[in-house]
Amino acid sequence: MGMTITEKILARASGAARVAPGDVAVVNVDTAVLLDLSFLPEGWREVLKVHDPSKVAIVFDHLVPASTVQAATCHQTGRAFAAKFGIERLHDVGAEQGISHAVIADRAYALPGSVLVNGDSHTCAGGAFNCAARGVGGPDMLWAITTGTAWFRVGETVRYDFTGRLRPGVTAKDLFLHIAGTYGAHVNQNVEYGGPGMSGLSINARRTIATMGAELSAEFTIFEPDDALIDYVRARNAAKFDPVWPDADATYKERRAIDLGALAPLVALPDAVVNQSVPVSEVAGTRIDQAFIGSCANGTLDDLEIAARVVRGRKVARGTRFIVTPGSQAVFRAALRAGYVETLLEAGAVVTPATCGACIGGHMGVLGPDEVCITASTRNFKGRMGDPSARIYMASPATVAASALAGHIAGAEEVFA
Amino acid sequence: MIAPRVWCFGDNINTDLILPGPYLYRSPEEQARAVFQSNRPGWVDQVGKGDAIVAGFNFGMGSSRPAARSVRACGVGFLLAETINGLFFRNAVNYGLLACECPGVAAAFMEGDSAELSLEAWTVRNPRSGAVLAVTPVPAQLLALMRGGGLYPVMEARGLIAPA
């Protein structure tokens, strides 16, 4: 009997001929990514031994540039740790700054067919690169860097087969909201994406979908590889890699087909991501205080491009704050060169440095009591972006940009008509 | 083991409810004081040592933050849910919080019940109703971590990290 992509990667990394649902696989970790939060004093412990410094990367992202003395102290601890063990991949505040998952994409650290762990839940972002990437906890990260291994429970796999092509103005976020709204949580399950329509999705679109796998509560979220992916990785990382396709006779818990051409823009209602998707028209007119585009899910160049296209030559509504946070400084520079940043600024948006920032309710866009926000980011949980009484709607960057212009939730159809 | 009191929670209890974002930067003690402050203010003063949480589907959905450590620090003896989010489960294993999946548990317990958990028989019993449910066994190597205080003591014993 064949294996899914996830099973094949975990089997190879654990030295087993096969793994199956119910197994606990102890695997060799190819890449372990630490964050600034990894160095918070209540979780970090003095490390006496690093298994292989070349397999470790450190990305400061939740608290950059340092927002508090404590954040600055975390960064100092991280720098000292990198220096002590000779860890060369240190993404400090500066040109190489970014949200870890965006940096991992920019630099193709998540190699196809490999295993990556990171102390942030949206690590499944690396699944866009055919990588078994999983968010783990602080103790897991210490274990991974000191032993080079990690344990995973092997779950059942749900496979999505895409056909057709997204219509103009319909984005990967809408596709995700369709999946989340239709099928709900995938607890203890792996999610794999493929099918003839997959290659019509840009790498950045796949990143949005893979990143949001955390909101499906999936174990792993992995895309099939294709030529576009392999070219993307080869252009950015000289390391050898071995992409993994599923076996033809792999066993799935379920196989679901999605016609991309049939999808329309959606909005997730506040307080939860899954089972909350409604058509934009259902909530159109809801007054907003803030519109946000950013995070590991929607801070890609594609997201900034579509936001710029929607607001070009127009102005953000009076009384509405429009905050845009590129996923990395590399994305910021690319958006600057392409003219997207100027377009956004002219419209009245605030474009911030790359950071987790507003998405995590950290800094640069925290919500006050009873405020209403529409966001293209990862989560709309109660209290996620600031005060627990704030209401957070989630939508595509196109819908968020159109809402920023209107001052209330609005679709972007006319731009794409 | 016997939980003197069961506290019932619903489906999709997320990590922002268990460990609110602003508390990520506070001490573990302060984090433990903030558990469920948005959805159940005052709970941390009511929960007693060894009490059980009984919850619905996808308990602990969300972030990798050490929410399981906070639940343990509140004195919770064990947690039973219809399903447990995979990342929360990892943290439960690694921080030493006894957490198991138990289909049917949400309907079988009411707030204020007690609960008798057997890790030998992998069952939980409700003394009020007499109902006995099967608990999904946790793989032996993960159960050993859960019951032994998690990964930190193992890493210390192996000389991988310095003692606290």
ipTM: 0.94
Q: How far is B36 from chain A (nearest CA, A)?
A: 11
Out of A165-174, A236-245, B14-23, which region has the weakest mean confidence (pLDDT)? B14-23
**Contacts with A120 (C-beta within 8 Å, 6 or more apart), sequence order:** A35, A37, A100, A101, A135, A296, B63, B64
What average pLDDT is seen over chain A?
97
A150-193 pLDDT per residue, tens: 999 999 999 999 999 999 999 999 999 999 999 999 999 999 99
User: Residue range A290-319: average pLDDT?
Assistant: 98
pLDDT of residue A417: 82
Residues of A in contact with B139 (CB under 8 A): 24, 153
pLDDT of residue B24: 86
B66 in A contact zone (CB under 8 Å): yes
Q: Do A143 and B155 touch (CB under 8 A)?
A: yes
**Element containing residue A391 per DSSP (H, E):** strand A391-395
B39 in A contact zone (CB under 8 Å): yes
Strands A24-28 and A149-153: antiparallel
Give the number of A-B residue pairs with CB atoms closer than 8 Å: 131
pLDDT of residue A42: 84
Q: How far is A297 from chain B (nearest CA, A)?
A: 14
> Is the pLDDT score of B51 beyond 90?
yes
Q: Answer yes or no: pTM beyond 0.90.
A: yes
Q: Which residue ranges make up each domain of chain B?
A: 2-137
User: Residue range A381-402: average pLDDT?
Assistant: 95
Query: Which 8-state DSSP code applies to residue B59?
Result: B
Q: Do A139 and B28 touch (CB under 8 A)?
A: no
- Pairwise CA distance, residues A356 & A401, whole Å: 19
Q: Do B151 and A139 touch (CB under 8 A)?
A: yes
Q: Do B14 and A272 touch (CB under 8 A)?
A: yes
> Among A138, A188, A361, whose Cβ lies nearest the Cβ of B86?
A188
Q: Which residue of chain B has the CA closest to A361?
A: B21
> Is the pLDDT score of A337 beyond 90?
yes
Burial B135-144 (b: 16+ CB within 10 A, else e): beebeeebee
pLDDT of residue A407: 98
Specify the amino acid at residue B139: P
pLDDT of residue A75: 98
Count of Cβ atoms closer than 10 Å to residue B126 Cβ: 19
Burial A53-65 (b: 16+ CB within 10 A, else e): eebbbbbbbbbbe
Distances in Å between the Cα of A173 and the Cα atoms of A267, A376, B6 are: 9, 8, 39
Q: What are phi and psi of A194, to 5 degrees?
A: -170, -150
Count of Cβ atoms closer than 10 Å to residue A315 Cβ: 12
User: pLDDT > 90: what percent of chain B?
Assistant: 93
Q: Do B161 and A47 touch (CB under 8 A)?
A: yes
Q: Which residue of chain B has the CA closest to A67?
A: B25
User: pLDDT > 70: what percent of chain B?
Assistant: 100
Q: How far is B128 from chain A (nearest CA, A)?
A: 31
pLDDT of residue B74: 96
pLDDT of residue A307: 98
Residues of A in contact with B57 (CB under 8 A): 185, 187
> Among A138, A146, A381, whose Cβ lies nearest the Cβ of B16?
A381
Q: Do B90 and A45 touch (CB under 8 A)?
A: no
User: Residue range A18-42: average pLDDT?
Assistant: 96
> Is the pLDDT score of B76 beyond 90?
yes
User: Residue range A398-417: average pLDDT?
Assistant: 96
User: Residue range A388-400: average pLDDT?
Assistant: 97
User: pLDDT > 90: what percent of chain A?
Assistant: 97
User: Residue range A312-320: average pLDDT?
Assistant: 98
Q: Do B161 and A188 touch (CB under 8 A)?
A: no
Residues of A in contact with B148 (CB under 8 A): none
Residues of A in contact with B87 (CB under 8 A): 121, 135-137, 214
> Is the pLDDT score of B21 beyond 90?
no
Residues of B in contact with A214 (CB under 8 A): 62, 87
> Is the pLDDT score of B38 beyond 90?
no
pLDDT of residue A330: 98
Q: Do B84 and A187 touch (CB under 8 A)?
A: yes
> Is the pLDDT score of B110 beyond 90?
yes
> Is the pLDDT score of A43 beyond 90?
no
Specify the amino acid at residue A179: I
Q: What are phi and psi of A47, to 5 degrees?
A: -90, 130
> Among A37, A139, A187, whose Cβ lies nearest the Cβ of B86?
A187
Strands A156-163 and A189-194: parallel
Residue whose entry in the numeric block shows the structure tokens 């979780």: A43
Is 3.20.19.10 the CATH classification of the domain at B2-137?
yes
> Is the pLDDT score of A1 beyond 90?
no
Q: How far is B17 from chain A (nearest CA, A)?
A: 8
Helices and strands in chain A, H and E counts:
14, 18
pLDDT of residue B25: 86
Residues of B in contact with A140 (CB under 8 A): 90, 94, 151
Which of A47, A77, A121 is the best substitution to test chain B (most B C-beta atoms within 10 A)?
A121
Burial A286-295 (b: 16+ CB within 10 A, else e): bebbbbbbbb
> Is the pLDDT score of A338 beyond 90?
yes
Q: How far is A70 from chain B (nearest CA, A)?
A: 8
Residue whose entry in the numeric block shows the structure tokens 């890493």: B155
Q: Do B83 and A187 touch (CB under 8 A)?
A: yes
**Phi-psi group of A348: left, alpha or beta (phi > 0 → left; psi -120 to 50 → alpha; rest → beta):** left
pLDDT of residue A403: 98
A57-106 pLDDT per residue, tens: 999 999 999 999 999 999 999 999 999 999 999 999 999 999 999 999 99
> Is the pLDDT score of B164 beyond 90?
no
B140 in A contact zone (CB under 8 Å): no
